Structure 1
Amino acid sequence: MRQQRKTFQAIEVGDGGDGRWAAHARALWQGLEGLLTAEGRTSEGAERVRALFRAHMPELVPVLERLAGHLDRPGVEAFLTHAALRPFSPACTQIGRNGTLLRNYDFPPDQCEGTIVSSRFLRPVIGMQDMLWGLLDGMNDAGLAVSLTWGGRSVYGRGFAILIVVRYLLETCDTVDEAVDRLRSLPIAVPQNLTLVDPAKAVTVFVGPDMSPTMAPDACAANHQHLPVTDEQERAMRTQERLRAVRAAGADVAAMLKPPLYRSVDEQGSRTLYTACYRPVEGRVTYYWPGESWQQSFEDFIPGSRTVALGRAG
């Protein structure tokens, strides 16, 4: 099998008002606008999702309006609410332990933006951006870090894509407890697992459109929640195997770069795209690939790009 390569980039966008974010977003927009649902393409539907955003994420409304104004494309404001996007189902494995958040992100390479973003929308935040301003994982200047995995259940409801929820928690919360409390009022469109870490605590929370936020047994997650995993799901996702492996390994980067946690291409084209190790109390994150790493921090964020080889597990 030919080794696949992917380019990741690191950018600073400030508060979104000086054109840097818009310049980046314009280059992506044509490939993303098709992800807007039919509801989001109607004037009535767009107003419904804007109202949902105003009701549940009021602190971010000025940011959304600023970003939408600078991008200036039809449908962009509804898109940026992340309440009218077609659902997606990343795999992933993650663990929070001793002030560290460690995760593998698994997805088809051509469907991942691959942008490490340093922003100051409401406060300093660094994370792996997707869907223009959502986050797959990230940390803030208060020492809080959050990452996501898919919950493994095919349920869909009215609510937000988890990417904007991660952004919202990091923009508005200082601690795990504050973020968990905030989750109780947020409608979530698809079952997801969030692992949250601060200097004093690490937890995983199961969320979804058909359930209240539920604490997991420990601060680990793969791609299932509270319900039994079917044999078919385990064969496809190896979610229970990965959860056992990450529990046994703890916050060990080397283990994340080996099977079963590091995954080569599956039938859907998904594979491990990066490993992220957040140390939020230090304001530092390191991204890892087989044989390569890239560190960023609040004190020393360096824009640039890296083209990396995506290794084969096994």
Structure 2
Amino acid sequence: MWPVTELWLADEGRTPEGAERARKLFEAHMPELVPLLERLARQLDRPHGEAFLTFAALRPFFSGCTQIGDNGTLLRNYDFDPAECEGTIGSTHFLRPVIGMQEAAWGLLDGMNDAGLAVSLTFGGRFVHGTGFAVPIVLRYLLETCTTVDEAIGTLGSIPIAIPQNVTLVDAEQAVSVFVGPDIEPAKAPDACAANHQHLPVPDEQEQFSRTQERLAAVRAAGTDVAAMLKPPLYQYAYDEGLGTLYTARYRPSEGRVTYYWPGESWEHSFARFTPGSRTVAFGQVA
């Protein structure tokens, strides 16, 4: 994926000064992961590799997605361009055991840890950008260093986020969605549901394109029902616009289990049983 993902690096990250600023931001906010950053950068062995792996010098990127947490379950659809999704489910043991859908080598789109915490992300719907991290590395950091929703929310509030994001967190006791971004203080959503807007509705044109309010209403009505996630309006077919559903994930973190779904098939993994393998999935409208 390097030819694609390398294009995500902002021009600033390609300069010595920009790379140094990204490194210092990473050291300040994720010190526990610095040895891992250095090790992975050596393995990547590409120009600007370390700056890229900090996730603090990336261009803004925007996706779809719908997610809900309830009763120890985190359920989410990830909507994006199939050509730009790494498509790697990783079972890692950096600081602790973590399973999740990887993004850009070691970031996470969603995942869980062995302490029973699960997290996932959606784009927050506002096109603003500031100094901070692309959120996949923040999800990695939360799962590597936190054990509960409350602990993760506290940590999340201390980390600068580059673009608006909605983060849903689940453990055995509670489920919470949090709005974050470069221009707002972290704030809990009304419930543990999120699509692609935050406190305010998006403009009408954006709603017609993303259907974020429609999807949020639908997931609230359906709850953690996998079948509802696999059909419209929650399952999206706008692949040419980069908003097609690439997978559905259901995490049960207290059980250490996750199942990924596509129409007509599923694939389960757990900390007790994680078997390397691959799947070929055809995207598009089923006849």
Note if 1:132 corresponds to 2:134.
no
Q: Deviations over 1:207-246 (max 9, x none)?
A: 0000110000000000000023221111011111100000
Aligned to 2:219: 246
Note if 1:118 corresponds to 2:123.
no
- With a CA cutoff of 8 Å and minimum separation of 6, indicate the structure with the bigger relative contact order: 1
Distance 1:197 1:313, change over 3 A: farther
Residue pair 2:80, 2:243 contacting (<8 A) in 1 also: yes
**Cα separation, 1, equivalents of 2:119 and 2:286:** 26
User: What are the residue-to-residue correspondences of 1:4-43 with 2, within 5 Å?
Assistant: 28-43=1-16
Q: What is the CA-CA distance between 1:36 and the residue it aligns to?
A: 1.0
**Cα separation, 1, equivalents of 2:125 and 2:115:** 31
SS of match in other structure, 1:138: strand
Residue pair 1:89, 1:150 contacting (<8 A) in 2 also: yes
Q: What is the CA-CA distance between 1:269 and the residue it aligns to?
A: 3.6
Residue pair 1:143, 1:199 contacting (<8 A) in 2 also: yes
**Cα separation, 2, equivalents of 1:186 and 1:60:** 14
**Cα separation, 2, equivalents of 1:228 and 1:250:** 21
Q: What is the CA-CA distance between 1:312 and the residue it aligns to?
A: 2.0
Q: Deviations over 1:64-123 (max 9, x none)?
A: 011111222211111000000111111000000000000000001101000000000110
Aligned to 1:204: 177
Match of 1:194 among 167, 171, 180: 167
Aligned to 1:149: 122
Q: What is the CA-CA distance between 1:50 and the residue it aligns to?
A: 0.1
Aligned to 2:41: 68
Residue pair 1:289, 1:309 contacting (<8 A) in 2 also: no
Q: Deviations over 1:190-221 (max 9, x none)?
A: 00000000000100000000011000000000
**Cα separation, 2, equivalents of 1:48 and 1:271:** 35
Residue pair 1:139, 1:145 contacting (<8 A) in 2 also: yes
Aligned to 2:257: 284
Q: Deviations over 1:159-209 (max 9, x none)?
A: 000110110000000000000000111000000000000000100000000
Equivalent pairs: percent with the same residue?
72
**Cα separation, 2, equivalents of 1:231 and 1:289:** 30
**Cα separation, 1, equivalents of 2:236 and 2:76:** 13
Distance 1:235 1:266, change over 3 A: farther
List gaps (5 residues or longer) in structure 2. none
Distance 1:266 1:118, change over 3 A: closer
Q: What is the CA-CA distance between 1:267 and the residue it aligns to?
A: 5.4
SS of match in other structure, 1:307: coil
Aligned residues: CA RMSD? 1.2
Q: How many aligned residue pairs are there?
A: 287
TM-score, structure 1 as length reference: 0.89
Match of 1:228 among 189, 197, 201: 201
Aligned to 1:108: 81
